[in-house]
Amino acid sequence: MSHHDAIIIGAGHNGLTNAAYLAKAGLNVVVLEKNDYIGGAASSRELHDGWTYSNHSYVCSMMRQAIHRDLDLGRHGLILVPYLGTVNFGDGDERLFSYHDEEAEHLELKRHSPHDADAMHRFQADLTRYSQLIRKTLMRTPPEPTSFRPRNIMELLWLAKKFWALGEKEIYEYVRFFTMSAADYLEDYFENDLIKAAMASPGIIGTALGVYSPGSSYILLHHVMGDVDGSIGAWGLARGGMGAISKSIASAAQGFGATIQTNAAVQRVIVKNRKAAGVVLENGDEITARIVVSNLDAKRTFTRIMDRNDLPDGIYDKAKNFRIRGSSGKVNIALSGMPKFTGVPDNKYLNRGGQGFTGSLETMERAYDCWKRGRWSDDPFVESVIPSAWDPTVAPVGQHWMSNFVQYCPPKLASGPWSPEKRDAFGESVISKIERYSPGFRDLIVHMEVNTPHDMENKIGLTEGNIFQGELTIDQLFFNRPFPGYGQYRMPVKNLYMCGSSTHPGGGVSAVCGANAAREILMDLRLTNTVPEDDFYDE
Amino acid sequence: MTTTDPYAGERPKLSVFYPRAKELNIRDAWSVWNGYKFADYYYDAEYEYFCIRNLCATYDICPMQKYEIVGRDAETVLNRMVTRDLKKIGLNRVAYCVWCTDEGRMIDDGTIFKLANDRFMLTCGSPCTAWLRKSAYGFGDVTITDVTDSIAALSIQGPTSCATLKRMGLDGIENARPFDIMHFPYHGKSLMVSRTGFTGDLGYELWIKKDLGLQMWDALYAAGADYGIQPFGEAATNMARLEAAFIMPAMEFNEALRTVNLNHDQTPFELNLGWLVDFDKPHFSGRAALVEEKKRGPKYTLIKLDIEGNRPAEESYIYNDKRCKGEEVGYVTSAMWSPAVKANIAMAMVKTEHVKDDLWAEIYYSKELRQYSRIAKCTRKTKAFWAPDRAKATPPPDF
């Protein structure tokens, strides 16, 4: 039996961030990871000779610079490289190229619709304005709206002030934005279906909603409010894969003295006198601590590793009903060469970006219909990136790794349990979708890793394979995340905290949940805060 | 009928590599350097910067001035001119040097290549024929030739630069240490490669007779295709060199021979280049003044700053009081947001007696036509902002 100041369950990037800040404050911290590798959903592993896949998350935009800078992650080997153009493929021959240059981008939009090319300016301005307000709340602990503690009142006032500053019209727009569907929201701006589909696609990524489902417009915003070096909405790749993010944070945490223990699955949290006091590992080892921080999702934390009898009334049910529905698959493909796509010029910049096999709003909605019926989509939405075109470290020279994010794929099939055959069939649906736009694609395949939501739950412990650790809908956002009344990282059992994406501000590899939780913990322990403020306010 | 271009006399010259650079300069973003048409950027400055940090990228150094100094007295002449002791520089080695006026004010910086005991190449940013001739005055056996227009020179920088050169067939290039020079037979002539650059990263510079320039470019680009090779221009250079804390003329220093107000130029000590000044060697230009300067201490000192927030402190004043109300103690020479380091970096000239004070920068910036200002705390850094291990490693890693 060993004793620590703090135990963090799960070495995903948020758990590691939490550990780094607690250790920086002088606490004796241990991070327990069930797998033999760290990183959780932000991990990169070599599964085929010479190819390192980012097995799950694959691009990065929300990682807060304040944390990157404060933990000096550059010195710990992290470099984030923004990527350029993207091609969106329509159902037929239409191709929408997204160029890095504003003027070129405008001309390209004009080719599809002069109206939409103009409307894009207003769309971008509006979206930037909305995201600025939300960005300001990211690295702050949400206030409890029913509490009269001065801190909560101050925070509510701060928020109200920012909100009222938008003006009456914008406040109505804002509320609409949170409750609308992505498709309806875009209707006000665009007429071209491929443009609408391309703009709507961030609204469904990772969520079990369709482009026409209310709430998907917020998901859209969630995906565009990040930035790479101040360019809001830009996405980048981590050199070495997403695992490089986790590794660099781990290295920073270890630099502050934190210990990371792999192959250490937690069986249950020990609660004594209604206080969390440690954990029991699956191998029977007991580790005690002053505080326990769970980086697992809310459902897993309260229904798997907590004894129901240790929880106050109602919590178990809240956790059981926490909406955390898996909807996406991730297919990593090793390729012997660079695929060629029909209708796309041999423009190395354009081909260095992503591919959006978006089709149309109709196709995306039909793909969602399949999910509702417990099947993977016949004609899925696939968002792809070829990181090896940028990153010389992830595939042999001249060969490539294509990361394919697939929607929709259910965690439970109507036809019975997942099996290796069904997983292969799901993978095949992705190959045939890409092959449609890239004849000969199949012949380039050297190796594949297919992750269904079921696989993601088994490998990295995301309930139902939900990439955000819980739906990002207004009932589960901000002070409602994970549950109303528990939005400040403190959980219903004393000395128990949560630091994963089930907490504010949700998923997206931002490292913010872990940092915010650390700030609250240090406050409770009456230690000096080590977590930086977000200093990117002067936008 | 032949027509002559009446403006030919004032159009920029074209580099050996122009036929290729023109195709790749998708944005048509050109300016001029030493009379040559020169790219600000080709596609996107930030993209090119990331190629330097993540893949490999090439920089056309044809417009850089190159002089061949040959003869029995060549070394003595150069040694009298620069502050560093060239006798300590081995054969096939490159030395970074500065040279000063008699008053110890810096004229320029550059690199000297020792190609034989009686043969050197000097490269520098600005033309310096007149100063070289002045330095050689009174010496018998020395010939100074401006070879700028007869050499095609291309810099390749970035983590995959060595791998690219290996694939191009330069066997053994991985054994070149920083500042080494190697020669490779190339289509009947010689390709000279030095492990030098201006980015603070792994990198090399390639030197070849002008007529083989395009052939070399093509071979390099064919070898580098899978390593992400991309040309970069002035904008990306300026980002990379600032992260490496390298000085730039007209930014960190004002060339002494072009300075009107004699307080506006700098000494090597002010620029933190005291390590380049060797008082143990025989007389050199500016020696007496620099001895004095060293004793007295420089008036200003160039320092490296990490500034809070994300607004580059371009052209900011530096203060040692938090409200920035007192007299300024210095000024920022270069500033940027560093994407690789994730820091708001700057170099600043600060009065030496205030270097250790708490410092603040008053930063002005505009947004949608409105002016804003912000006072930001500065933290002094002692090392280069960016200095990856691969830049020093021999042999370097493949990426």
Interchain contact B221–A (C-beta under 8 A): no
* Distance to chain B for A161, nearest Cα, Å: 21
Q: CATH 3.30.1360.120 in chain B, residues? A: 10-297
Interchain contact A397–B (C-beta under 8 A): yes
* Distance to chain A for B399, nearest Cα, Å: 6
Is the pLDDT confidence value at A1 over 80?
no
Q: What is the pLDDT of residues B272-295, one digit of tens each?
A: 999 999 999 999 999 999 999 999
Please identify among residues 211-240 of chain A the ones whose CB lies closer than 8 Å to any CB of chain B. 228-230, 239
Q: Is the dihedral of CA A156, A161, A165, A167 positive or negative?
A: positive
Q: What is the pLDDT of residues A216-272, one digit of tens each?
A: 999 999 888 888 887 777 889 999 999 999 999 999 999 999 999 999 999 999 999
CATH architecture entry for B10-297:
2-Layer Sandwich (3.30)
Q: CATH 2.40.30.110 in chain B, residues? A: 299-399
**Token output for B324:** 């920035």
Is the pLDDT confidence value at A69 over 70?
yes
Mean pLDDT of the region A295-305? 98
Of the candidates A68, A398, A538, the beta carbon closest to that of B311 is on: A538
- Predicted local confidence at residue B263, as pLDDT: 87
* Distance to chain A for B6, nearest Cα, Å: 34
Taking CB atoms and an 8 Å cutoff, what residues of chain A touch B372?
A: 538
Helix (H, G, I), strand (E, B) or coil at A514: helix
Mean pLDDT of the region A282-307? 98
Of B54, B338, B372, which to mutate for an interface test with A (greatest number of A Cβ within 10 Å)? B54
- Predicted local confidence at residue A84, as pLDDT: 85
Is the pLDDT confidence value at A13 over 80?
yes
Mean pLDDT of chain B: 97
- Predicted local confidence at residue B1, as pLDDT: 56
**Token output for A504:** 């504010």
- Predicted local confidence at residue A539, as pLDDT: 58
Q: Do B50 and A229 touch (CB under 8 A)?
A: no
Comparing A246-255, A352-361, A489-498, B9-18, the range with the smallest average pLDDT is A352-361
**CA B86 to the chain's CA centroid:** 20
Confidence of residue A132 (pLDDT cuts 50, 70, 90): confident
- Predicted local confidence at residue A175, as pLDDT: 85
Q: Are B332 and B347 in contact (CB under 8 A)?
A: yes
Please identify among residues 224-253 of chain B the ones whose CB lies closer than 8 Å to any CB of chain A. 226-228
Please identify among residues 76-95 of chain A the ones whose CB lies closer than 8 Å to any CB of chain B. 79-82, 84
Q: What is the pLDDT of residues B127-160, one digit of tens each?
A: 999 999 999 999 999 999 999 999 999 999 999 9
> What is the SS3 string spanning chain B?
CCCCCCCHHHCCECCCCHHHHHHHCCCCEEEEECCEEEEEECCCHHHHHHHHHHCEEEEECCCCEEEEEECCCHHHHHHHHECCCHHHCCCCEEEEEEEECCCCCEEEEEEEEEEECCEEEEEECCCCHHHHHHHHCCCCCCEEEECHHHEEEEEEECCCHHHHHHHCCCCCHHHCCCCEEEEEEECCEEEEEECCCCCCCCEEEEEEEHHHHHHHHHHHHHHHHHHCEEECCHHHHHHHHHHCCCCCECCCECCHHHCCCCCCCCCCCCCCCHHHCCCCCCCCCCHHHHHHHHHHCCCEEEEEEEECCCCCCCCCEEECCCCCCCCCCEEEEEEEEECCCCEEEEEEEEEHHHCCCCEEEEEEEEECCEEEEEEEEEEEECCCCCCCHHHCCCCCCCC
Share of chain B above pLDDT 70, in %: 99
Confidence of residue B29 (pLDDT cuts 50, 70, 90): very high
Taking CB atoms and an 8 Å cutoff, what residues of chain B touch A239?
A: 54
* Distance to chain A for B308, nearest Cα, Å: 8
Residue of A nearest to B160 (CA): A392
Neighbour order of strands in the sheet with A86-89: A95-98, A86-89, A354-357, A381-385, A400-407, A328-335, A445-451
Q: What is the pLDDT of residues B234-272, one digit of tens each?
A: 999 999 999 999 999 999 999 999 999 988 999 999 999
Of the candidates A84, A392, A535, the beta carbon closest to that of B399 is on: A392
Confidence of residue B178 (pLDDT cuts 50, 70, 90): very high
Residue of A nearest to B308 (CA): A535
Q: Could you please state the CATH topology (level 3) that the domain comprising B299-399 is classified under.
A: Elongation Factor Tu (Ef-tu); domain 3 (2.40.30)
Of A63, A98, A103, A229, which to mutate for an interface test with B (greatest number of B Cβ within 10 Å)? A229
Share of chain A above pLDDT 90, in %: 88
Of A347, A538, A539, which to mutate for an interface test with B (greatest number of B Cβ within 10 Å)? A538
Q: Do B342 and A65 touch (CB under 8 A)?
A: yes
Cite the beta strand spans of A395-480 per DSSP E: 400-407, 445-451
Considering only residues A538 and A34, tell me which one the structure prediction assigns the higher pLDDT.
A34
Q: What is the pLDDT of residues B337-366, one digit of tens each?
A: 999 999 999 999 999 999 999 999 999 999
Confidence of residue B372 (pLDDT cuts 50, 70, 90): very high
User: How many CB atoms are closer than 10 A to CB B45?
Assistant: 20
Mean pLDDT of the region A400-404? 98
Taking CB atoms and an 8 Å cutoff, what residues of chain A touch B159?
A: 392
* Distance to chain A for B183, nearest Cα, Å: 27
Q: Do A80 and B227 touch (CB under 8 A)?
A: no
| Domains of chain A as residue ranges with CATH | 2-80+240-323+469-524 (3.50.50.60), 84-102+328-409+412-451 (3.90.660), 114-234 (no CATH)
Residue of B nearest to A390 (CA): B228
Taking CB atoms and an 8 Å cutoff, what residues of chain B touch A69?
A: 342-343
- Predicted local confidence at residue A313, as pLDDT: 93
Of A80, A101, A397, A533, which to mutate for an interface test with B (greatest number of B Cβ within 10 Å)? A397
Q: What is the pLDDT of residues A423-435, one digit of tens each?
A: 999 999 999 999 9
Is the pLDDT confidence value at A329 over 90?
yes
Q: ipTM higher than 0.90?
A: yes
Interchain contact B279–A (C-beta under 8 A): no
Comparing A534-538, B116-120, B229-233, the range with the smallest average pLDDT is A534-538
Is the pLDDT confidence value at A446 over 70?
yes
Interchain contact B364–A (C-beta under 8 A): no
Q: Do B54 and A74 touch (CB under 8 A)?
A: no
Q: What is the pLDDT of residues A152-198, one digit of tens each?
A: 999 999 999 988 988 899 888 888 888 899 999 999 999 999 999 99
Backbone angles phi, psi at A270, to 5 degrees: -85, 130
Share of chain A above pLDDT 70, in %: 99
- Predicted local confidence at residue A271, as pLDDT: 98
Please identify among residues 141-200 of chain B the ones whose CB lies closer than 8 Å to any CB of chain A. 159-160, 163
* Distance to chain A for B191, nearest Cα, Å: 26
Taking CB atoms and an 8 Å cutoff, what residues of chain B touch A392?
A: 54-55, 159-160, 163, 227-228, 398-399
Taking CB atoms and an 8 Å cutoff, what residues of chain A touch B343?
A: 69
Is the pLDDT confidence value at A537 over 60?
no
- Predicted local confidence at residue B82, as pLDDT: 98
Of A239, A351, A534, A539, which to mutate for an interface test with B (greatest number of B Cβ within 10 Å)? A239
Q: Do B227 and A538 touch (CB under 8 A)?
A: no
Is the pLDDT confidence value at A100 over 90?
no
- Predicted local confidence at residue A40, as pLDDT: 97
Rounded Cα distance between B116 and A42, Å, is 54
Is the pLDDT confidence value at B2 over 70?
no
